[in-house]
Amino acid sequence: MFALVHDGVIFLKVDEQSAPAFDREGLEPFSYARGGERASLTSYRRMPDRLYDDPDELVAWARTALAAAGRSGAGKRRAAKRAVTKRAATKRATRSRKSQGA
């Protein structure tokens, strides 16, 4: 997911590489009410208002957000793959011990 819309406002995905552009613009992170308090999701920042009138620049920012989402997803996929590999190794070791009469 590279963007979200809340109350008519677009928020774009950010990461370490793209956050400086949002910082320069002073764009706040996505926040919402949760249990009577404000919570924020710092990996999404408000899109600059000027982009609503500048489709070419909007495309550039959207591509940057898509790249950030891809980088984020790649890390999650690697972690999931490691977890599956670890579980498979544990199962093999358990079967081996059982077959050896342990």
Half-sphere exposure of 101 (CA within 13 A, CB side): 0
For the cut 70, the answer to whether the pLDDT of residue 83 exceeds it is: no
pLDDT digits (tens, 9 = 90+) for 24-55: 999 999 999 989 999 999 999 999 999 999 99
For the cut 80, the answer to whether the pLDDT of residue 7 exceeds it is: yes
Q: Look at residue 5 and give its three-state secondary structure.
A: strand
Q: Are strands 3-6 and 9-13 parallel, antiparallel or unpaired?
A: antiparallel
* CA-CA-CA-CA torsion sign (13, 15, 17, 19): positive
Q: Which residue has the tokens 């949002």?
A: 22
Q: Look at residue 36 and give its three-state secondary structure.
A: coil
The overall average pLDDT reported for the chain is 86
Residue range 50-63: average pLDDT? 97
